[in-house]
Amino acid sequence: MSETGRALPPTEERRTTDADGHDRIDPLGVAVVTVSSSRGAGDEIDPSDASGDAIADILVDAGHVVTSRQIVPDDYAGIRATVSECLNQENVDIVVTTGGTGVTVDDVTPDAVSELFDRELPGFGEAFRWLSWAEVRTRIVSTRATAGIARDVPVFVLPGSENAVRLATAEIISEEASHLAGLATRHTASETDT
């Protein structure tokens, strides 16, 4: 399991551009929030959190730093409050949740988190479902995976399946998150430069 809470340099020191001149923040400070109906808020992260571990491990292997890991029950207010708390942390550049994206009545993660979005990123859900087609075929219609920008922070809402999390994190999030975080905060860099 990945180390959490490691210090990061200030965002200004991690802000760069890629070869094409696109804004980036690298490395990213990552908050991982596991939504679980079997564990409560404040429970310790343990080896049975395979999806949360997969997110953390893939992003750490990509050079990023996990600055926060939390578990929250399938509860609208609790999910919203936990993600909101992550958004307020200075060492969090992206938030990734896992769990609660299905169609049962207790799958409320997309509803709770999207209420925090200032802007949606519909391409994320579309890309995730497209990539998932080979494995789950028509069952892709039952996932409500989504993403958006909340308080200048990219937020990704993933299913609880370890396979789904690995696919989304390795194929989409690790490829685009640094760029998304750079774009989402570009206006703040202009403010600090003047």
Q: For residue 56, what pLDDT band results from cuts at 50, 70 and 90?
A: very high
Is residue 44 one of the residues assigned to a domain? yes
Is residue 3 one of the residues assigned to a domain? no
Decide the pairing of beta strands 146-150 and 153-158.
antiparallel
CATH of the domain at 80: 3.40.980.10
DSSP string of 56-102, one letter each residue = HHHHHHTT-EEEEEEEE-S-HHHHHHHHHHHHT-TT-SEEEEES--S
Token pair for residue 38?
A: 């079997």
pLDDT averaged over every residue in the chain: 89
Is residue 46 one of the residues assigned to a domain? yes
Element (H, E) at 127: helix 122-136
Residue 25: pLDDT above 80? yes
Q: For residue 6, what pLDDT band results from cuts at 50, 70 and 90?
A: low
Q: Which domain holds residue 62?
A: 25-193
pLDDT of residue 114: 96
44 versus 53: the higher-pLDDT residue is 53
104-109 contacts at long range (C-beta below 8 A, 24 or more positions apart):
106/37, 106/74, 107/74, 107/144, 108/74, 108/75, 108/76, 108/79, 109/35, 109/74, 109/79, 109/157
Is residue 12 one of the residues assigned to a domain? no
Q: Which of these, 27, 36, 35, lies nearest to 2 by C-alpha position?
A: 27
Is residue 171 one of the residues assigned to a domain? yes
pLDDT of residue 140: 85
Is residue 15 one of the residues assigned to a domain? no
Domain count of the fold of the chain: 1
Residue 41: pLDDT above 50? no
pLDDT of residue 191: 54
Is residue 137 one of the residues assigned to a domain? yes
Is residue 9 one of the residues assigned to a domain? no
The rounded distance, in Å, linking the Cα atoms of 135 and 28 is 29
pLDDT digits (tens, 9 = 90+) for 109-146: 999 999 999 999 999 999 999 999 988 898 888 899 99
Please compute the mean of the pLDDT values over residues 22-49 and round it to a whole number.
77
DSSP 27: S
